[in-house]
Structure 1
Amino acid sequence: MTSNDRIALYYSPQTRATGTRVLLEELGAPYDLHVLNMKAGEQRQPAYLAINLLGKVPVIRHGEALVTEQVAIYIYLADLFPGAGLTPALDDPCRGPYLRWIAYYGSSFEPALIDKFMKREPAPVSHSPYSDYDSMLGALEAQLSRGPYLLGERMTAADILWGVAFSWTMMFGFVPRKDIFAAYAERITSRPAFQRITASDAEMAAQHAAACGG
Structure 2
Amino acid sequence: MADDLIFYTHPMSRGRIARWMLEEVGQPYETRLLDFATTMKAAEYLAVNPMGKVPAIRHKDRVITECGAICAYLADAFPDAGLSPDPAERADYYRWFFFAAGPVEQVVTNKALGFTVNAEQSRMAGYGSHELVLDVIEHAVSAKAFLTGERFSAVDVYLGSQLGWGIQFGMLPDRPAFRAYLDRIFARPAYKRASEIDDALIAEQEAAAAPA
1:38-77: CA deviation from partner (whole Å, max 9, x where unpaired): 3x53212222222212111110111111111111111111
Checking the alignment, whether the CA contact within 8 Å between 1:37 and 1:208 is kept in structure 2 is: no
Checking the alignment, whether the CA contact within 8 Å between 1:10 and 1:34 is kept in structure 2 is: yes
After TM superposition, the score normalised by the length of structure 1 is 0.90
Checking the alignment, whether the CA contact within 8 Å between 2:138 and 2:178 is kept in structure 1 is: yes
Displacement of 1:126 after TM fit?
2.0
Name the structure 1 match of 2:96: 101
Name the structure 2 match of 1:136: 133
CA distance in 1, matches of 2:181, 2:204: 31
Report the count of equivalent residues: 209
SS where residue 145 of structure 1 aligns?
A: helix
SS where residue 10 of structure 1 aligns?
A: strand
RMSD: 1.8
Checking the alignment, whether the CA contact within 8 Å between 1:164 and 1:189 is kept in structure 2 is: no
SS where residue 29 of structure 1 aligns?
A: coil
Q: Which amino acid aligns with 1:46?
A: A
- Check if 1:187 corresponds to 2:184: yes
Name the structure 1 match of 2:112: 117
Checking the alignment, whether the CA contact within 8 Å between 1:167 and 1:189 is kept in structure 2 is: no
Q: Which amino acid aligns with 1:23?
A: M
Name the structure 1 match of 2:8: 10
User: For the structure 1 residues 212 and 42, does the alpha-carbon distance in structure 2 shift closer, same or farther, using more than 3 Å as the test?
Assistant: farther
Name the structure 1 match of 2:74: 77
Name the structure 2 match of 1:26: 24
CA distance in 2, matches of 1:41, 1:156: 35
Q: Which amino acid aligns with 1:104?
A: F
CA distance in 2, matches of 1:144, 1:35: 33
User: For the structure 1 residues 11 and 18, does the alpha-carbon distance in structure 2 shift closer, same or farther, using more than 3 Å as the test?
Assistant: same
Pairs within 5 Å for 1:44-83: 44-83=41-80
Name the structure 2 match of 1:161: 158
- Structure 2 stretches lacking a partner, 5+ long: none
Deviates more, 1:116-125 or 1:127-136: 116-125
After TM superposition, the score normalised by the length of structure 2 is 0.91
Name the structure 1 match of 2:208: 211
Deviates more, 1:199-208 or 1:101-110: 199-208
Name the structure 1 match of 2:174: 177
Percent identity, aligned pairs only, is: 34
Q: Which amino acid aligns with 2:17?
A: G
CA distance in 2, matches of 1:177, 1:114: 17
CA distance in 1, matches of 2:85, 2:62: 22
Displacement of 1:114 after TM fit?
1.1
Checking the alignment, whether the CA contact within 8 Å between 1:163 and 1:187 is kept in structure 2 is: no
CA distance in 2, matches of 1:2, 1:212: 29
Match of residue 37, structure 1, among 30, 35, 54? 35
After TM superposition, the runs of 4+ consecutive aligned structure 1 residues lying more than 3 A away are 210-214
User: For the structure 1 residues 19 and 150, does the alpha-carbon distance in structure 2 shift closer, same or farther, using more than 3 Å as the test?
Assistant: same
